[in-house]
Amino acid sequence: MYLENKNNREREMSETGAPEHPVRAGRGKPDAVLGNLGEFRLLEGFSGMRETQKVQQSGASTTAHCVIYTDRSGPRQPEGQGCASWLVVFPHPPSAPLLSPASFTYLTLQEQSWDGCSGEAEGRCQLGSEVTGLSRSLLTEKSEPQDGPLFSFMLSGRLLCPMLLHKSDYNDTLCSIQLFFSIYPDHGNPWQMLAVSSTASFTRNLSDFRDSALLRLQMGGPFLRRPIAEAPREYVLVQVEQSGEEGSRRRRGQQVIYNWTIPIHSQGNEQILMSRAFEMLSSGPVSITIQAFLQDSEVIPLSMTYQSLYVNVETQVVIAGIILAGVYVLIIFEIVHRTLAAMLGSLAALAALAVIGDRPSLITVVEWIDYETLALLFGMMVLVAIFSETGFFDYCAVKAYHLSRGRVWPMITILCLIAAILSAFLDNVTTMMLFTPVTIRLCEVLNLDPRHVLIAEVIFTNIGGAATAVGDPPNVIIVSNQDLRKTGIDFAAFTGYMFLGICLVLLTSFPFLRLLYWNKKLYNREPMEIVELKHEILVWKQTAQRINPASREETAVKCLLMHKVHNLESVLRNKLKTFQREISQEDKNWENNIQELQKKHRITDKVLLVKCVSVLAVVICVFFLNSFIPSIHLDLGWIAILGALWLLVLADVQDFEIILHRVEWATLLFFASLFVLMEALAQLQLIDYIGEQTAALIKSVPDEQRLAIAIILVMWVSALVSSLIDNIPFTATMIPVLINLSQDADVNLPVRPLIFALAMGACLGGNGTLIGASANVVCAGIAEQHGYGFSFMEFFRLGFPMMLLTSTVGMCYLLVTHVGLGWNT
């Protein structure tokens, strides 16, 4: 009852509390008017402090102050064994704005000696913390103005030290990472220029190798970018030799020799960099011999550099896995923002590279960032920011409501289907950049929760992007591979095969989406009477739970309160049934609602709309033609940037700061950090290790089951890995692995089913987690800017089951077509 409203709460506490100053009131022995709930004395002091605060505010006091209420009950304990509890109130200065209803900053602290204190005092302090927590949670739900510009929070004294300890742990970890990163210098070994031929070789002796586990050798020259099936006619042979030292673990004179064959492009002029790591025996000297095998006496110019690494490959993979797991822990539990988590993960990966002896320079780290993707995102953000000024998104929301005839699920189905179709021909990021504002505005008009609708849209965007060769970056990488084109995997063949499979995936995804959303609350706001009724039930229920039925009167009061709670819950159930029945049925007055919405949400600037539609149509058209016309020498990033500049000029934007404020800078920084993190993990051999282990597992399977197991293994490894890391470097790494696997005479596998399994898994696996696909992050960033951000776990609960279903359907399609029907050529 004392929590029902402000006036009653003040009146009832003033009736039971002492009128004097709270500090003085705390010195006397409190009255036991509340039985075992002695912690209510804190509220008495709180009431007195409110009156004191009013008097001080009337005196135009401008300085912040605090009032300390101390309670020392019972006989005075000997020094060193006493217990005390305080309620410390910190009012904010008068210049602070009016904030939450609980108007004071107060800390319930407990002073306890190391020798312990009485159980009664400890229990009273603990109950006091519970009451203050209850009053804060109930007061903040009810937005009532208070008397002063104050802010409230409660922190238990027992929780204060652990929280500070966790912060200290974070700071210590970050300082350790920065220390490791700063004490190890960049690997600055210069490139050495050399020339070799069929008759002249080059030899380099390394006497300062020390106790290194690996020797990384980088070669630059006119090499072939990708391996070839037949034995090369012209190639460069690199031979690395090391002899065991006397006193080493291996016997003296034992040698290790590695031969590295690099095919030469006979007519190539571009310098291609190749890298390989060699495991060393000990700290003995190393000899590197380079010789070219050519059909004539031509001289081949080359460049070479080497680097000593102090950790073997397995340890590097473990370190990379720990760093990746740490980043996911930060994002899943929302310890920090996902952008900061990616930045911390990037720093940790760079520090790990520094420790093993392979710290990259700042120029190298900057080169790891994919600026084409960042330019695409920035350009589309500017286009959408200007587009939103026309009222076009509101107009589209009303049209979508009209097409669905006022029904929610038909409208969601239409939005997801359109998003899937558009993403098949556009980039997934571009599709979500255009669809997210429309969806948010539509949900606001229809009183829906935009988060669930946005998650459904981005899931179907990733599914639709797998249907064509231009819908998703992994597909673009596969189709642009020259070796795969020779095997018949071109644009038409790839799109025809994947389109049929994705259609089957979509047919099963829509019913499963409805099943996932069966118990989801799509409407984000309930009628005010239901909200107030829920709040009233919460107050009465928690008040009744606080009463200790020690006497007959107290038991009777608690029974009365619980009876009232049951009656209110019955009323609430009836109101909820009526409300759910209203929103689940077709709106009978949807035509009248559409007329009202059309009057309210109209196109505000038709001239600007024509300009925006014209520029956006040209940009999308060039996006599509860029994949077919090789004479268009513009990347997607350049097209988006040029379109944004063109629209800025046509729209005659005067206040440029407004446009820049609508750019998702946190999303751009997240992608930049993610690119650095993924490349650093690749330098730690994580992606190569996954590819090698996948190939080794496939080789270990018997011949009669090898194709089916290979399809299943490549499909699920691609899906699960793409859920955790970026699918672009993983796809680029797995393509040569699968090509080599298909060219191995002992394995005897066709390359087409392996590549299609890779494409299906890499694209559909992006739905597994929030950072599994670029479209997921972009959608979450835009939604967060509009106040509807969703967490990692909210996306995971819907996206991961959908990823499992779609991957299963895709796997069945691959097995039926390649194993059952034999579509391998």
User: What is the full DSSP assignment across 355-420?
Assistant: HTT-PPPHHHHHHTS-HHHHHHHHHHHHHHHHHGGGTHHHHHHHHHHHHTTT-HHHHHHHHHHHHH
Spatial separation of the C-alpha atoms in residues 459 and 774, rounded to whole Å? 12
Number of Cβ within 10 Å of residue 825's Cβ equals 7
CA 744 distance to own-chain centroid: 39
Q: How is 505-542 classified by DSSP, letter by letter? A: HHHHHHHHHHHHTTT---B----HHHHHHHHHHHHHHH
Spatial separation of the C-alpha atoms in residues 48 and 54, rounded to whole Å? 10
Tokens of 621: 């058209």
What is the SS3 assignment for 487? coil
10-residue stretch averages of pLDDT, the chain, 825 residues long: 38 41 39 37 39 41 39 42 40 36 38 40 39 37 36 34 48 76 73 89 80 84 74 88 60 70 82 86 84 87 88 91 92 87 93 89 90 88 87 77 77 88 83 86 78 93 89 83 81 89 94 84 65 78 79 85 88 80 56 70 86 90 78 84 92 83 87 90 88 87 88 94 84 84 81 93 92 89 85 92 95 93 78
Number of Cβ within 10 Å of residue 811's Cβ equals 21
Cβ contact 311:765 at 8 Å: no
What is the SS3 assignment for 701? coil
Name residue, tokens 């076009």. 392
Cβ contact 284:209 at 8 Å: yes
The partner residues of 276 in beta bridges, in order of sequence, read 217
Spatial separation of the C-alpha atoms in residues 461 and 381, rounded to whole Å? 18
Indicate the Cα dihedral angle 173, 177, 183, 185, nearest 10°. Answer: 180
**Between vectors from CA 742 to CA 736 and to CA 743, what angle results, nearest 5°?**
90
Cβ contact 154:133 at 8 Å: yes
Torsion region of 287: left, alpha or beta (phi above 0 gives left; psi -120 to 50 gives alpha): beta
| Gyration radius (Cα) of the chain, Å | 34
C-alpha to C-alpha distances, 196 to 262, 263, 291, 311, nearest whole angstrom:
13, 14, 6, 32
Core vs surface per residue 487-508: b (16+ CB within 10 A) or e:
bebebeebbebbeebbeebbee
Core vs surface per residue 412-435: b (16+ CB within 10 A) or e:
bbebbebbbebbbbbbbbbbbbbb
Single-letter amino acid, residue 528: M
pLDDT value of residue 86:
40
pLDDT value of residue 527:
66
Three-class SS of 300-325:
EEEEEEEEEECCCHHHHHHHHHHHHH
Number of Cα atoms under 13 Å in the Cβ half of residue 725? 27
C-alpha to C-alpha distances, 228 to 480, 482, 488, nearest whole angstrom:
16, 11, 16
Cβ contact 326:345 at 8 Å: yes
Q: In what order do the strands lie in the sheet with 83-90?
A: 67-71, 83-90, 105-112
Spatial separation of the C-alpha atoms in residues 97 and 108, rounded to whole Å? 24
Spatial separation of the C-alpha atoms in residues 722 and 774, rounded to whole Å? 11
Number of Cβ within 10 Å of residue 191's Cβ equals 11
Number of Cβ within 10 Å of residue 24's Cβ equals 11
- Nearest one of 466, 464, 436 to 451, comparing CA atoms: 436
pLDDT value of residue 227:
61
Torsion 20-22-28-33 (CA) sign: positive
Indicate the Cα dihedral angle 684, 686, 689, 693, nearest 10°. Answer: 160
Residues near 427 by beta carbon (within 8 Å), at least 6 away in sequence:
376, 465, 470, 471, 473, 623, 636
Cβ contact 384:620 at 8 Å: no
Tokens of 11: 């009146």
Tokens of 274: 């190749």
C-alpha to C-alpha distances, 469 to 116, 464, 481, 776, nearest whole angstrom:
71, 11, 12, 20
Spatial separation of the C-alpha atoms in residues 432 and 425, rounded to whole Å? 13
pLDDT value of residue 58:
42
Spatial separation of the C-alpha atoms in residues 765 and 215, rounded to whole Å? 35
Tokens of 334: 């929302």
Residue 39 DSSP one-character state:
G
What is the SS3 assignment for 6? helix
E strands, 623-771, are: none
Residues near 740 by beta carbon (within 8 Å), at least 6 away in sequence:
227, 695
CA 773 distance to own-chain centroid: 9
Single-letter amino acid, residue 268: G
pLDDT value of residue 163:
38
pLDDT value of residue 33:
36
- Cα Dmax for the chain: 110
